[in-house]
Amino acid sequence: MKFILVSFKKNILPCLFILFAICLVVFSKTNLDACKVGLKLWANNVVPSLFPFFVITELLAHTSVIYYIGKKFNKIMRPLFNVPGEAAYAFIIGLISGYPTGGKIVANLREQGLCTKDEGDRMLSFTNNSGPLFIISFVGVSLFGDTKTGILLLCTHILASITVGIILGKLSTKKVTSLNERYITKYQLYNFQKAR
């Protein structure tokens, strides 16, 4: 009996996947209709609202904007959240555009060496937020039928992310950040050439 129980625990995931595949075949008409509705929703609502922000953030990533924002906001972001100033860029764009743009920017900052793994993990907790369009128009107006409720929820959402960022920053014992020297040198060279 004990052996059967252990064997079942080991094979529970494959059994669930097989059951899922069988259900897909048995209820294929319902699944097909649901897939069509899901794809239409994705194409009509998700892509138009997120795609422009993805393009803008990618274009800004190849300019000196992140470097300047990091330089200006380091005095705020380091004491409050224990992260580099570049996190302000991820936080601001994440709030404006919504999921998953903040997370994508944090991943880019990590790839460029502008934050450590610990800092990147903590930044994800407060930079990857719902956008104002979703909270105010969909949740506030569509679900609750009131714009004021949407604005209240947005304010609560922003305050919650800031609170989480502060708490995790204070709990973190790691104080060292790693800046990518090539990134800084690149923009110092850019400014030098511009001045000439």
pLDDT in tens, 112-126: 888 888 898 899 889
- Dist. CA 128–CA 148, nearest whole Å: 23
For the residues 131-141, what does the mean pLDDT come to? 80
What 3-state DSSP class applies to 146? coil
Q: Interior CA angle at 172 toward 171 and 175, to 5°?
A: 140
pLDDT tens for each residue of 19-69:
888 888 888 888 888 889 888 877 876 677 667 777 877 787 777 888 888
Residue count of the chain, please give it.
196
What 3-state DSSP class applies to 100? coil
- Dist. CA 74–CA 83, nearest whole Å: 8
Longest dimension (CA), the chain: 81
- Dist. CA 128–CA 95, nearest whole Å: 8
Of 62, 60, 64, the residue nearest 187 (C-alpha): 64
